Amino acid sequence: MNKSLVIIACLTFCFVAAAYPQQPVGKPDPTSQGVGLYEGGDTEGAIKVLREAVKKSNKDSKAWHYLGLALIRQGNSKKAVEALGKAIDLRTKTIILEFSRDDGEWRDDRLLNLKTLLGDQIESQSKQLEILTDKQAFEKGRLALDRSKIQADCVDQNSRVVDGHTVLSKGDLRIEKARVLVKPEPAYPVSARKDNLGGKVVLRAIFAANASVQFIEPIQSPDRRLTEEAITAAQLIRFRPESYCGKPVSFPVQLEYSFMLGW
């Protein structure tokens, strides 16, 4: 029987929408209006305008961030966690794209934008952690925040001035992607095989900085028995963590296990 394990970094799909969309010249910017209302103490007004902003552009991470802050001030922690989570997800995808660039260098405004993006990400993650009540969600958030801080420190430490330009070389960041060393195949449950039950199990997990597989949870499965075997196999994965400037970081992954009948 052929049982295959495919490991896919769950955030490495192509994401090209800008996290900081630009407004056409001459037209009002609802995000700036909402931020101004928030900073001026008009919480209800800010929430109303910022909700319109994210409705108009749901990829506006700044609008989602300030909507989260306004909802915290309003006392609506549940919705605040969701709004900040949207900002975090959008920025995470943009950060992954930035560190995946092939040209190998950031200069001047682009370097400033990278540092701003990482700083904004850290702020959103920190604010969300302050209001999270679920223990597992808090621990996941803490790992993500640690990752962002290591990335930001690595960028700051390696930025330099060359001929009047601020420059960062990708090579100086010493980015090492996670490397799987051992990936056991799952056992095929005898009872499931007798029931002619097969298919694909998809799990979500975190390859933690300490080289352990944490927070394994199913997101797709044809049967509980197959899920259990897939989780058991996932727990036995051995890997070298991703790292920046020699410091390991945690990274979310998607794991796929195929249980094929007739093999």
CATH of the domain at 91: 1.25.40.10
Higher pLDDT, 16 or 140: 140
Query: Are 38 and 168 members of one domain?
Result: yes
Query: Are 49 and 168 members of one domain?
Result: yes
Query: Are 129 and 197 members of one domain?
Result: no
Amino acid at 129: L
Question: Among residues 244, 122, 261, which one has the least CA distance to residue 196?
Answer: 261
CB-based contact 17:59 (threshold 8 Å): yes
**Is the residue at 19 inside a domain?**
no
**Backbone torsion region of residue 41, taken as left when φ is above 0, otherwise alpha when ψ lies between -120 and 50, otherwise beta:** left
Strand order in the sheet with 251-259: 3-8, 251-259, 199-207, 213-220
* Tens digits of residue pLDDT in 167-183: 999 999 999 999 999 99
Mean pLDDT estimate for the chain? 90
Cα→Cα distances 36→47, 70, 75, 87, 210, Å = 11, 11, 20, 18, 42
CB-based contact 154:171 (threshold 8 Å): no
CATH code at 213?
3.30.2420.10
Range of 75's domain?
Answer: 30-173
Using a pLDDT cut of 90, give the percent of the chain over it: 86
* Helix (H), strand (E) at residue 39: helix 30-39
Question: Among residues 82, 145, 100, which one has the least CA distance to residue 118?
Answer: 145
Question: Among residues 148, 183, 179, which one has the least CA distance to residue 255?
Answer: 183
**Is the residue at 182 inside a domain?**
yes
Per-residue pLDDT, 68: 98
* Tens digits of residue pLDDT in 114-154: 999 999 999 999 999 999 999 999 999 999 999 999 999 99
Find the helix packing angle between 108-131 and 77-99, rounded to 10°: 150
